[in-house]
């Protein structure tokens, strides 16, 4: 990190100088790891992340930078950037998604083909949700949906773990086999999108049914 | 964002919802999905000679995805399989007045037609060899 332009000290966050309290304005494309003073990677130490959030939140809090309008605007912007970065880093899916993009891997537009067998499964999940929609409590379609929900949840956990293993050790970006690893990661992320969509549909249906 | 009248019409009265016999040699099945939103679309064609005599779809997705696939089944019925392959997503966008954020729904429908025709052609080749 460059020295603080106000006091010359080495800042401990790219968003604010902890020595003199001056707000900093890092480039817009600064990645979320850098905003937290971390190296990019598939895993993150949740405790360290939360501590850093608390520490930097205080440094950039608009209440402490209210004296002039420009400064308050920057404080608001930095607070928003800090919170957005935190949301990306704390979420296993969002973090892996961002890492794949950061390393130049394909997005879901470029790598969108999924195996027919998988899409057939997705179709079946959707049909199971549909069949349970008007089914009575305790009826077979409702029980089938509960089983499906547990199964999808377990597959979600397994896929997220597989994703971390697949991205382990990245960067460096000159890692051998990098394009293939990033493509595999994107396929897993795509599968997770379908899983999460169905899990969200199931949650929504349960809320609807509970409200009846 | 409001749906166009044509989208609402297909959404409220979808044409050709259902399934054809997947195991029949005359039936081609295509399943496609959009990872951006988790939408999934199944489109099936039944072919006599080289003409599509029936088409069915099942789509789990937004109104635009349902309308795009409903319209696609209407359009391909009566066409030859090669004529069906010429249907472009842009024609679906135009017919349904889809906004830019829903263009991927029309792409999905075009892909579903291609995927169903490919499956049909593969079955024909297998039965000939």
* pLDDT single digits (tens) B27-50: 999 999 998 888 999 999 999 999
Same domain, A121 and A80: no
A171 DSSP assignment: -
* pLDDT (0 to 100) of residue A152: 97
Instruction: Return d(Cα B36, Cα B54) in angstroms, integer.
Output: 30
Same domain, A58 and A133: no
Q: Is B62 a catalytic residue?
A: no
Label residue B70 exposed, middle or buried (CB < 10 Å: 0-12, 13-18, 19+): buried
Chain A residues near residue B33 by CB distance under 8 angstroms: 114, 119, 122, 194
Same domain, A82 and A124: no
A111 found inside a domain: no
* pLDDT (0 to 100) of residue A2: 78
Residuewise pLDDT in 10s, chain A (212 residues): 778 888 888 888 999 988 888 899 999 999 999 999 999 999 999 999 999 999 999 999 988 887 788 888 999 999 999 999 999 999 999 999 999 999 999 998 889 889 989 999 999 999 999 999 989 988 999 999 999 999 999 999 999 999 999 998 877 766 778 999 999 999 999 999 999 999 999 999 999 988 88
**Of B87, B93, B97, which Cα lies nearest the Cα of B106?**
B93
Residue B105: pLDDT over 80: yes
A103 found inside a domain: no
Shortest distance, CA B81 to any CA of chain A (angstroms): 21
Chain A residues near residue B17 by CB distance under 8 angstroms: none
* pLDDT (0 to 100) of residue A173: 62
Same domain, A83 and A123: no
Same domain, A122 and A195: yes
Range of the domain at A52: 1-90
* pLDDT (0 to 100) of residue A42: 94
Same domain, A75 and A154: no
**Of B69, B56, B61, B17, which Cα lies nearest the Cα of B35?**
B61
Model confidence, pTM? 0.85
Residue B75: pLDDT over 70: yes
Directed axis angle between helix A92-102 and helix A69-90, to 10°?
A: 100
pLDDT per position as a tens digit, B83-95: 999 999 999 999 9
Same domain, A80 and A125: no
Shortest distance, CA B96 to any CA of chain A (angstroms): 23
Chain A residues near residue B42 by CB distance under 8 angstroms: 123
**Of B74, B85, B87, which Cα lies nearest the Cα of B10?**
B74
A26 found inside a domain: yes
The number of helix segments (H) and strand segments (E) in chain A equals 7, 0
Q: Which of B12, B24, B37, B78 is catalytic?
A: B37
Same domain, A65 and A123: no
Show the tokens assigned to A210. 């509970």
What is the number of structural domains in chain A? 2
Q: Which of B105, B109, B116, B117 is catalytic?
A: B105
Q: Is B37 a catalytic residue?
A: yes
Chain B residues near residue A194 by CB distance under 8 angstroms: 33, 35, 38, 40
* pLDDT (0 to 100) of residue B1: 59
Same domain, A125 and A76: no
The number of helix segments (H) and strand segments (E) in chain B equals 5, 3
Same domain, A81 and A152: no
Show the tokens assigned to A48. 């360290």
Instruction: Return d(Cα A146, Cα A119) in angstroms, integer.
Output: 21
Say yes or no: A193 contacts chain B, CB-CB below 8 A: yes
Same domain, A9 and A86: yes
Q: What is the CATH number of the domain that holds A20?
A: 1.10.287.110
């Amino acid at each position: 990190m460059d020295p603080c332009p106000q006091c010359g000290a080495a800042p401990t966050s790219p968003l604010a100088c902890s020595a003199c309290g001056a707000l900093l304005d890092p480039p817009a494309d600064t990645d979320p790891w850098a905003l937290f003073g971390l190296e990019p990677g598939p895993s993150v130490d949740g405790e360290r992340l939360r501590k850093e959030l608390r520490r930097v939140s205080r440094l950039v809090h608009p209440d402490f930078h209210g004296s002039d309008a420009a400064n308050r605007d920057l404080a608001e912007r930095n607070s928003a950037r800090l919170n957005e970065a935190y949301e990306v880093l704390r979420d296993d899916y969002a973090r892996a998604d961002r890492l794949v993009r950061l390393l130049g891997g394909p997005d879901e537009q470029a790598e969108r083909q999924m195996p027919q067998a998988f899409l057939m499964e997705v179709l079946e999940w959707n049909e199971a949700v549909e069949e349970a929609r008007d089914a009575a409590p305790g009826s077979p379609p409702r029980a089938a949906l509960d089983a499906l929900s547990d199964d999808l949840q377990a597959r979600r956990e397994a896929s997220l773990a597989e994703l971390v293993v697949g991205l382990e050790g990245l960067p460096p970006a000159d890692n051998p086999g990098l394009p293939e690893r990033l493509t595999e990661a994107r396929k897993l992320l795509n599968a997770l999108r379908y899983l999460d969509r169905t899990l969200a549909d199931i949650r929504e249906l349960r809320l609807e049914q509970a409200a009846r | 964002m409001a749906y166009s009248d044509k989208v609402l019409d297909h959404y409220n009265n979808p044409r050709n919802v259902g399934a054809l016999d997947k195991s029949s040699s005359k039936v081609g099945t295509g399943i496609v999905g959009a990872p951006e939103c988790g939408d999934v679309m199944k489109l099936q064609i039944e072919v006599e000679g080289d003409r599509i005599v029936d088409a069915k779809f099942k789509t789990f997705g937004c109104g635009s995805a349902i309308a795009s696939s409903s319209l696609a089944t209407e359009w391909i019925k009566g066409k030859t399989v090669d004529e069906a392959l010429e249907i472009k997503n842009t024609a679906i966008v135009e017919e349904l007045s889809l906004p830019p954020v829903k263009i991927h729904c029309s792409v999905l429908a075009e892909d579903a037609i291609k995927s169903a025709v490919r499956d049909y052609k593969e079955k024909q080749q297998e039965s000939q060899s």
